[in-house]
Chain A
Amino acid sequence: MNLNQLFSQIEQADPEIHDRLDTRRSAMRQFANLGKKLAATAIPVALGAMFKKAYGQAPAGLLEVLNFALTLEYLEAEFYTTALAKTGLIPAGAALGAIQTISTHETQHVAFLRTAITGAGATPVAKPKFDFSGGSGSGTGPFANVFNSYELFLAVAQTLEDTGVRAYKGQAPNLLRTGDVLTAALRIHSVEARHASQIRQMRRAANFSTTIKPWITLNNTEINPDNAVIQAVYNGENNPTQAGLDLRAYRALDNAAVTFVTATEAFDEPLTRAEVLAIAGPFIAR
């Protein structure tokens, strides 16, 4: 399966999506507060119904974003399901409990996105065949030992979670003014960030890194040995400038300037779809 082909249309996001949404704001508004009144399981159905009401079907650009997100969630969900099925990989107790919690959320995200896409009258993208060795289907990639080594498993988990955070962040502008759709995406985004923080705390607790923090410092991977695939997850995180303002220009405490490290830790950076696909590509069998 060719990932780039799968997402070729994603790269051509509908440029008129915002205009078309604007002209149908009454329909959007009608559903704006629906989420609050419904049982949690009904929310994705309501989202799909909202698309249908507004457009007859959800706009292509929006569906592409949702299918892109769904593919990433498939990847994460199967990664944790596979790991949990491997007896003895994850230490019993707190570690196992945490991974079970994360696994549950990723499976819920898959179901949520599938239901939303189906409710919109579209067909969810099929789940690809994954290769968690990072070998594009060869099974002999750099992470071939991922389900035999707890240390390697957590390292790959960290890269998947941090990538997920960056991927959702990169898609948020494409969901501008889509109301409930944007809110749902943001709510998944921050859950991924909680997961990323958790995995990083677990790696610190297990002494797999003595310097890793729950947040991303500079563009450090905190994974040893790392490689180009891992480094790509963190490239661009060492950015001290936000909206044209270099944070280091500001005096913070005791008249000291905001440091470079703080400036990079305080803001997570987005990834484009192309960047995410380049990172995820080796995990998908071709």
Chain B
Amino acid sequence: MKSSMTTKPGGTLEAGLPRPMHRRNFLRYAGVSVLGTGLLAAACTKDDPNPLTYGETVNLGSGDIGILNYAYALEQLEAAFYIQVIQTQYSGITAAETALLTDIRDHEVAHREFFKAALGISAIGGLTPDFSKINFSSRESVLATAKTFEDLGVSAYNGAGRYLTSADYLTIAGKIVSVEARHAAYIRNLISNGSFANSEVVDANGLDVVRTPTEVIILAQPFVRNTIDATNLPIA
């Protein structure tokens, strides 16, 4: 169900541009980085979007902005998860695991901060995670959740690329998804050595897992107290 009280809808950057000229072409013409304009826009407003209230519906918006907010939402979840993993480390964690899980935390935080800055005033607010089903003291529970998040992230970026109209956004998504795949292969091996790219995620053509935004949000929703509204995404 769509809410009329959703947060900042996407598409803000597109407003005001003459219709015949694609935004991407316009920005190329103007010699401005597409994402950089988000930062410029953000500079005109306050530094931080308001954190969302518990249970509030989050509308990701439309167009490329909607897809970027979709990625931003997933990165928020991943970052929050690994922050908690490092704060309350599971029993039996090794030094190597601590080091590399800390790295992953830092990567996800960097992804989150990047999207927040790039989206500027078009960014959704801060989601409220729901990690109540995760036992952070249990290696099994933490790594199983990490595997879910990483494979979900890979499948989400793989599935969303086709909806982007900006080559610049597509390149950014590509730069991030391969790092998520590197994480996924590491986490999977921690659970079961050799499962880095097994048949759960790679099919008989050698192609990795892919999901539509709708499929991803169904799987991500249990980890978020807010309701994620993806109905305006450009999913044909």
A184 touches B196 (CB 8 A): no
A interface residues, tally (CB under 8 Å): 68
A187 touches B158 (CB 8 A): yes
CA distance A123 to B210 in the complex (A): 28
Decide yes or no: A196 and B205 within 8 Å by CB, A187-B210, A215-B107, A252-B109 being known contacts. no
Decide yes or no: A193 and B182 within 8 Å by CB, A29-B236, A44-B205, A262-B107 being known contacts. yes
A214 touches B186 (CB 8 A): yes
Decide yes or no: A266 and B181 within 8 Å by CB, A182-B162, A191-B202, A198-B197 being known contacts. no
Of all chain A residues, the one with the shortest Cβ separation from B175 is A267
A112 touches B207 (CB 8 A): yes
A244 contact set on B, CB distance < 8 A? 33, 35-36, 39
Decide yes or no: A105 and B179 within 8 Å by CB, A187-B210, A214-B185 being known contacts. no
Cβ of A129 within 8 Å of any chain B Cβ, yes or no, is no
Cβ of B140 within 8 Å of any chain A Cβ, yes or no, is no
A253 contact set on B, CB distance < 8 A? 83, 105-106, 109
Residues 178 to 206 of chain A near chain B (Cβ within 8 Å):
178-180, 182-184, 186-198, 201
Cβ of A109 within 8 Å of any chain B Cβ, yes or no, is yes
The stretch from A137-145, A169-177, A222-230 touching chain B is A169-177
B159 touches A201 (CB 8 A): no
Decide yes or no: A267 and B206 within 8 Å by CB, A101-B198, A186-B157, A198-B196 being known contacts. no
Interface of B is mostly: helix
CA distance A168 to B210 in the complex (A): 17
B: interface residue count bin: 35 or more
B170 touches A173 (CB 8 A): yes
Contact bitstring B6-47, A, C-beta under 8 A = 1, else 0: 000000000000000000000000000111100100000000
A190 contact set on B, CB distance < 8 A? 154, 157-158, 177-178, 180-181, 208
Interface of A is mostly: helix
Cβ of A97 within 8 Å of any chain B Cβ, yes or no, is yes
Contact of A40 among B154, B179, B185, B203 (CB under 8 A): B203
Least Cβ–Cβ distance between B27 and chain A, in angstroms: 11
The stretch from B53-61, B113-121, B124-132, B218-226 touching chain A is B113-121
Cβ of B191 within 8 Å of any chain A Cβ, yes or no, is no
B174 touches A172 (CB 8 A): yes
Q: Can you pick out 27 interface pairs between chain A and chain B where the beta carbons lie within 8 Å of each other?
A: A29-B236, A40-B204, A101-B194, A165-B178, A176-B165, A183-B210, A187-B209, A188-B208, A189-B174, A192-B178, A194-B182, A195-B197, A214-B100, A214-B182, A215-B107, A242-B35, A244-B33, A244-B35, A244-B36, A245-B36, A253-B83, A253-B106, A258-B109, A258-B110, A258-B113, A266-B179, A268-B175
